[in-house]
Amino acid sequence: MSSHYEAPIREPLVLGEKSYQDISADVAAPVLGKANKSWWIVFTIALIAFLWGLGCIIYTVSTGIGVWGLNKTVGWAWDITNFVWWVGIGHAGTLISAVLLLFRQKWRMAVNRSAEAMTIFAVVQAGLFPIIHMGRPWLAYWVLPIPNQFGSLWVNFNSPLLWDVFAISTYLSISLVFWWTGLLPDFAMIRDKTKSPFQKKIYGILSFGWSGRVKDWQRFEEVSLVLAGLATPLVLSVHTIVSFDFATSVVPGWHSTIYPPYFVAGAIFSGFAMVQTLLIIMRKVSNLENYITIVHIEYMNKVILLTGGIVTVAYATEYFVMWYSGVPYEDYTYLSYGAATGPYWWAFWALIICNFVVPMTLWVKKLRRNIIWTFIVALVINIGMWFERFNIIVVNITKDRLTSSWTMFQPTFVDIGTFVGTIGFFFVLFLLYARTFPVIAQAEVKTILKSSGEKFKNLRAKHGND
């Protein structure tokens, strides 16, 4: 793809005296080895949370949406907050794999596989909510334009909720295909490395008979590039469509034209925070510190700073235009003086502190390269971005135009249980993934070893650059 020359000023992306053989061995180790005790403990906790959430979902569907804390004014609360939160988290995966591929960022290669896995698992969680928040989820198939016996009764294509159906399902399918194509050479590597006949059989099926011929690689690269080109507008449009759920309305605070790019920036912001959270743990427990280095963490922190900055400017814009519009109703929106001092003041300030104040510390290079601090900031951002969606959705509608319908929102244990359940489900999937999939795209890392590996950079420094 690109030439082998790299400016000496760039920091190495693969540390240690690694050879191609070492990369394969390091990546395959978690798959070929056995799970340890702590994996089982964490997996059990996640599984229990998932089962509890499943119970809450079954209870909701069989009893009715009334078991949630929704009321006549606040028809959307935790359900759609969680939906947008999970979709947002799912965006960093595609950003890392597609957008960073288009920008030829070599550092993406160590993190893209896990980021894409995170995308898939997060979108699966997100996909639950549009179904379970329906009053009659068994009629959910009516959202699809299928010819039927009601005189071909069709859907109305004017609703952003319908666009959501297409956006999310397309997003999931494309991400899945993109992820799986990238996995082929890596599954083939495991297939060729494993001694167990069972594993050989399984990975033989999963790798679709990949044999790594020149022609295959040529097409592989072309397909990756085309998919990246398609996934980039897709990732922007998916969260844009999610933002249309609110922005097309006439609710003060929801109706705002900045939502499309602002939601996308927020999605990347929260998605990268989640990638940090997961990878900081993964590099430790799977011994991948030579591949997911401090440089990778710093670069991701820089993306967090950039998108956090964009989100902050959007906050400022919302706050300013709320005042500038001169519309009195706008004073109760989530970014207004009224919100900062009203009954949901704590949610307003949680948003400002978690998404603006705390991430600002990453401007300091020492903190940006500090793994513990990065982990804390990433967690704080995940919380803050949940609050952003909560504020947008709930705070805006608790005080709408008619004072007679003003109200507050109180979640029930079922609201909370369902959310906890999706977190459990996410980690069940992610933990299973970490034990069975090659978590680093070894085939891609091998392509940058000679240009960006520490060993080869040192050799070049010693013997000249050409």
Partner 1 sequence: MYTLPSKLKLFSIVLMVLGLAGIIFGFMTTPKTIDDVKKILAEQEAHHGENHAVDHKEDTANFIDIARGEEGYSGAAMEHATDLSAEGHGASSHEEHVLHQLQTRPWSATFVAAFFFMMIALGVLVFYAIQFASQAGWSPVLYRVMEGITSYLLPGSIIVFVLVIFAGEHFYPWQNADLVAEDKILQGKSGYLNFPFFVIRAAIYLLGWNIYRYYSRKNSLAQAEANNFDHYRKNFKASVFFLIFFLLTEATMAWDWFMSMTPHWYSTLFAWYVFATMFVSSITVIALVTIHLKSKGLLSFVSDRHLHDLAKYMFAFSIFWTYLWFSQFMLIWYSNIPEEVTYFIIRIQEYQGLFFGMLILNFVFPMLVLMNSDFKKVPWFVVIAAVFILVGHYIDVFLLVMPSTVGHNWGFGIPEIAALLFFAGLFILVVGNGLGKVSLRPKNDPFIKESENYHF
Say if residues 273 and 224 touch (Cβ distance below 8 Å): no
Q: How far is the CB of 203 from partner 1 (least distance, A)?
A: 33
Select from 261, 347, 361, 383 the one that contacts partner 1 (CB under 8 A): 261
Q: Confirm or reject binding of residue 388 to partner 1 (CB under 8 A).
A: no
Select from 121, 179, 210, 244 the one that contacts partner 1 (CB under 8 A): 244
Rg value, the chain, Cα: 23
Q: Confirm or reject binding of residue 214 to partner 1 (CB under 8 A).
A: no
Q: How far is the CB of 233 from partner 1 (least distance, A)?
A: 7
The smaller minimum CB distance to partner 1, of residues 111 and 235, is found at: 235
| DSSP for 26-57, written as a single string | HHHHHHHS---HHHHHHHHHHHHHHHHHHHHH
Q: Confirm or reject binding of residue 209 to partner 1 (CB under 8 A).
A: no
Binding to partner 1 (CB under 8 A) within 93-122 occurs at: 104
Residue 66 sits at the vertex; the CA angle it makes with 63 and 69, to the nearest 5 degrees, is 135
What is the DSSP code (8-state) at residue 98?
I
For the chain, the residue count is 466
Half-sphere exposure of 291 (CA within 13 A, CB side): 33
Size of site (CB under 8 A) for partner 1: 40
Select from 40, 154, 217, 324 the one that contacts partner 1 (CB under 8 A): 324
Q: Confirm or reject binding of residue 250 to partner 1 (CB under 8 A).
A: yes
The smaller minimum CB distance to partner 1, of residues 133 and 239, is found at: 239
Q: Which helix (H) or strand (E) holds 414?
A: helix 413-436
**Tokens 């229990």 appear where?**
48
The residues, any chain, with a CB within 8 Å of residue 419's CB and separated by 6 or more, are 53, 78, 82
Q: Which stretch binds partner 1 (CB under 8 A): 22-30, 319-327, 353-361, 409-417?
A: 319-327
The smaller minimum CB distance to partner 1, of residues 196 and 465, is found at: 465
Here the tokens at position 266 are 């927020």
Q: Confirm or reject binding of residue 258 to partner 1 (CB under 8 A).
A: yes
Say if residues 348 and 339 touch (Cβ distance below 8 Å): yes
Select from 190, 236, 380, 428 the one that contacts partner 1 (CB under 8 A): 236
Q: Confirm or reject binding of residue 41 to partner 1 (CB under 8 A).
A: no
Burial class (CB in 10 A: 0-12, 13-18, 19+), 372: exposed
Which amino acid, 23? I
Say how far apart CA 235 and CA 222 lie, in whole Å. 20
Q: How far is the CB of 397 from partner 1 (least distance, A)?
A: 15
Closest CA to 79 of 441, 463, 418: 418
Q: How far is the CB of 298 from partner 1 (least distance, A)?
A: 12
The smaller minimum CB distance to partner 1, of residues 233 and 343, is found at: 233
Select from 313, 357, 364, 461 the one that contacts partner 1 (CB under 8 A): 313
The smaller minimum CB distance to partner 1, of residues 180 and 356, is found at: 356
Q: Confirm or reject binding of residue 257 to partner 1 (CB under 8 A).
A: yes
Q: Which stretch binds partner 1 (CB under 8 A): 257-265, 367-375, 394-402, 442-450?
A: 257-265
Q: How far is the CB of 313 from partner 1 (least distance, A)?
A: 6
* CB burial readout 146-155, b (16+ within 10 A) else e: eeeeeeeeee
Say if residues 13 and 446 touch (Cβ distance below 8 Å): no
**Chain contacts with partner 1 (rule: CB under 8 A):** 1-3, 5-10, 104, 233, 236-237, 240, 244, 247-250, 255-261, 309-310, 313-314, 316-318, 320-321, 324-327, 465
